[in-house]
Chain A
Amino acid sequence: MREIKGSEAIREAIRNEMLKDERVFLMGEDIGRLGNTFKVLAGLWEEFGPERVIDSPLSEEAIAGAAVGAALAGMRPVFEIMYIDFSTLAMDHIFNRAAKIRYISGGECSVPLVIRMQEGGRVSVACQHSQSLEALYCHIPGLKVVMPSTPYDAKGLLISAIRDDDPVIFIEHKLLYNRKGLVPEKEYTIPIGMADVKREGKDITIVSWSDMVHFSLDAAEKLEGEGIHAEVIDVRTLVPLDEDTIITSVRKTGRILIAHEAVRRGGYGAEVSSIISEKAFDYLRSPIKIVAAKNTPIPFSLSRTGEGGGYGAIPLLSEELKKCKDPLEEVVLPQTHNIVEAARAVVEYNNKS
């Protein structure tokens, strides 16, 4: 198996489906000639032409509506929103049509649509280009929400998403594009709704998704040095949620920590937490903890954690930036040490009692 970047894995999945199924086409801003602003779709416009890789005007609302219409008429549109922050402009069609039509038509109609969005912080692009808004989409019945953390998962899940008969919100973290991982060349699918245990352990379960999985794995490594064996579950799809894998792990470890990059309040971590307390309360040996972003907008100043991931050649680090003691974006977003400290507290709570 070769090692490729997340952006390449996503492109392979899309190319695979475009070759197989003529109904699949792409729409979005700067996706054709430019191949998307992160070059995720590079070469597809040249290969498939402007009728299947459509550079759209900056009209998110109309494109979202058009994608719904095309799906109703029998196509399988894959529609891209450059930053999830811009998806607010398209929400009416996503919330009120894409998510509702199967239900209100009594299953007669379906909207086989994929909306790829890119989210997340850590590259100093401030409040309108760094948010993690998955909880909004999880809140709307009728949508599936997929958030891969690795190139391997991204390829397998995206192929499944395109073949799925429901609208799928496919959220890519901006740091995924440059992350490398082993990915088979041939096609494969990962079922939507299946979590993945990324690391096994017996003392505490860390439930996470998207980019925070990598922070959770780093934390687990550090905890190992302290004699704490953490299990890391990557839920991979938030809706539907693989509750069984989580509950099975809770039964084993009795301790739960949930880690996500989105803000704490109203975050999907609270939903996972409530499911665990309802369904596995008797197995819990300590209160559930959530590590998440603070309840603030993302400040511009400053993040060094991403070091320009996916953002090209401009050096982000200078002596001047190194002088910054408490970069605000790093203060707001959860870091590995936050997970380590929280995990330790969860384990120690239990040791005390």
Chain B
Amino acid sequence: MITDDEKRALYKSMFRIRRFEERCIQLYAEGFIPGHIHLYIGEEPIASGVCMHMRKSDFVFSSHRAHGHLLAKGARMDKVLAEVFGKEWGYNHGKGGHMHVIAPDVHVFADGIVGGGFGPSVGTALTQKLQKKGDVTAYFFGDGAANQGCLYEVMNMAALWKLPLLLVLEDNLYAISTPTEISTSKPGLAARADAFGIVGEVIDGYDPIRVYEAGERAVHRARGGEGATLLEVKTYRLRGHREGDPQTYRSKEEIAQWRKRDPVKMFAKELEEQGLLTPEMQSALKKEIDEEIEKAVQFSLESPYPEAEMALKDVIS
């Protein structure tokens, strides 16, 4: 059972990701951020609900939509933002960028290739099993990646070797423009997991507590040596595939319907109704988070761009 404190912590984690990305929207529109930017808005319960059960030494692999996983896993916000800015003080000296933030201190690896984390997540989970420290790996991937053949090779290995692995499918209904109904033959990846002998669960990703509890069960199983879990989390991205996406592939009405269920707002309401979050607490929380964000913005602005020599460094050891 989730405690009241855990509920508040879960909300804080989600709200923090949300505020961070709302600031990113602004910064991107103002031209501070080069390249593309893919936002996690609407999907926060997943990263927060799962990563709250993880510890620093656990591994997380993520996709091009990685801000949520980075922040929820404990990566430094200022170093994430500076990286997204392409600055020297960013996690990767500006060489990784928005799609490829690697936060070695908390073992988070974002990846711009869809499905790129399947293989590596088996490798870290295998290592963790051999090391017997009880560490686990989670890979967060989308419904697009769920049709990459490597997933099926990986489910086989994870089951065969009883790996401490969480395969977390963030099914936001669209792979860029392609809806799951034309990309996926029979809905329900959890059922496919079952075919491999992996525990599969289907969870409403707009219900943070359900995600939190499922994350807890899966991490517990992995740490306890009981093997891998596939969490099929139903969600929706409330922004486009990337900022600037005209979203011609879905209707305004559809987006509006989902906006009504905005999980961050709805969860705040739920906590208010339960007396766990007062307007005062909410505004104090907002102030605290916004201060952290503004510090991160300041840090990113103050950071120099990398020197030319950085382009040639670290290609090989």
The 8 Å CB contact of B301, one of A62, A320, A324, is A320
B34 at interface, CB cutoff 8 A: yes
B111 CB–A CB distance under 8 Å: yes
CB-CB under 8 A from B164, the residues of chain A are none
- Residues of B contacting A125 with CB < 8 Å? 35-36, 97, 99
Instruction: Determine the residue in chain A with the shortest Cβ distance to B37.
Output: A314
Q: Does A302 contact B (CB under 8 A)?
A: yes
Q: Is the CB of A61 within 8 A of B94?
A: no
**A315 at the binding interface (Cβ < 8 Å):** yes
The reply to whether B177 and A314 contact each other, CB–CB distance below 8 Å, is no
Q: How many A-B residue pairs have CB under 8 A?
A: 165
**Inter-chain contacts of A58 with B (CB < 8 A):** 114-115, 144-145, 147-148, 175, 178, 183
Chain B residues, Cβ within 8 Å of A318: 30-32
In the complex, the answer to whether A124 meets B35 with C-beta atoms within 8 Å is: yes
Known interface pairs A126-B97, A301-B306. Does A294 touch B312 (Cβ–Cβ under 8 Å)? yes
- What is the bound-complex CA distance between A5 and B145, given in angstroms? 32
Among B32, B34, B86, B177, which residue has the most Cβ atoms of chain A within 10 A? B34
A302 to B93 alpha-carbon distance, docked (Å): 11
Query: Which residues of chain A in 105-149 are interfacial with respect to chain B, using CB atoms and an 8 Å cutoff?
Result: 123-129
- Residues in B with CB closer than 8 Å to A316 are 31, 34
A85's nearest neighbour on chain B, judged by CB, is: B113
User: Is the CB–CB distance between B34 and A303 below 8 Å?
Assistant: yes
How far is B310's CA from A341's CA once the two chains are assembled, in angstroms?
23
Query: Contacts A57-B184, A61-B149, A331-B311: A314 and B112 contacting too (C-beta < 8 A)?
Result: no
B67 on interface, CB distance cutoff 8 Å: no
Q: Are B183 and A296 in contact (CB under 8 A)?
A: no
**Contact residue among A61, A300, A315 (Cβ-Cβ distance under 8 Å from B35):** A300
Contacts of A56 in B (CB 8 A): 183
* Per-residue A-contact encoding for B293-307, CB less than 8 Å = 1, 0 else: 000000001000111
For A126, list chain B residues within 8 Å (CB). 35, 95-100, 112
Contact (Cβ within 8 A) A301 B184: no
User: In the assembly, what is the distance between CA of A320 and CA of B243, in Å?
Assistant: 19
Contacts A29-B175, A314-B243, A327-B305 given; does A128 touch B86 at CB 8 Å = no
User: Could you say which residues of chain B place their CB within 8 Å of the CB of A57?
Assistant: 144, 147, 175, 178, 183-184
Residues of A within 8 A of B178 (CB): 29-30, 33-34, 55, 57-58
- Report yes or no: A302 in contact with B307, Cβ–Cβ below 8 A: no
Residues of A within 8 A of B177 (CB): 30, 33-34
Interface size on A, residues (CB 8 A): 50
Tell me whether A59 and B147 are in contact in the complex, defined as CB-CB below 8 angstroms, given that A33-B177, A314-B244 are known contacts. Answer: yes
Which residue in chain A gives the minimum CB-CB distance to B90?
A: A301
Residues of B within 8 A of A (CB): 28-32, 34-36, 83, 85-87, 92-100, 111-116, 144-145, 147-149, 175-178, 182-184, 243-244, 248-249, 301, 305-308, 310-312, 315
Q: What 7 pairs across the A-B complex have the smallest Cβ distances? A: A300-B97, A318-B31, A301-B86, A301-B94, A124-B34, A326-B308, A57-B147
Q: Could you write out 22 A-B pairs with CB less than 8 Å apart?
A: A29-B175, A33-B177, A55-B183, A57-B147, A58-B147, A58-B148, A60-B148, A123-B35, A124-B34, A126-B100, A128-B112, A128-B113, A299-B311, A300-B83, A300-B94, A301-B93, A315-B31, A316-B31, A316-B34, A318-B31, A326-B308, A331-B308
What is A's interface to B at a CB cutoff of 8 Å?
A: 29-30, 33-34, 37, 55-62, 85-86, 89, 123-129, 294-297, 299-303, 311-318, 320-321, 323-328, 331-332
Apart from A34-B177, A300-B35, A328-B86, what 8 extra A-B contacts exist at CB < 8 Å? A59-B147, A126-B95, A301-B95, A303-B34, A318-B32, A320-B31, A326-B305, A328-B310
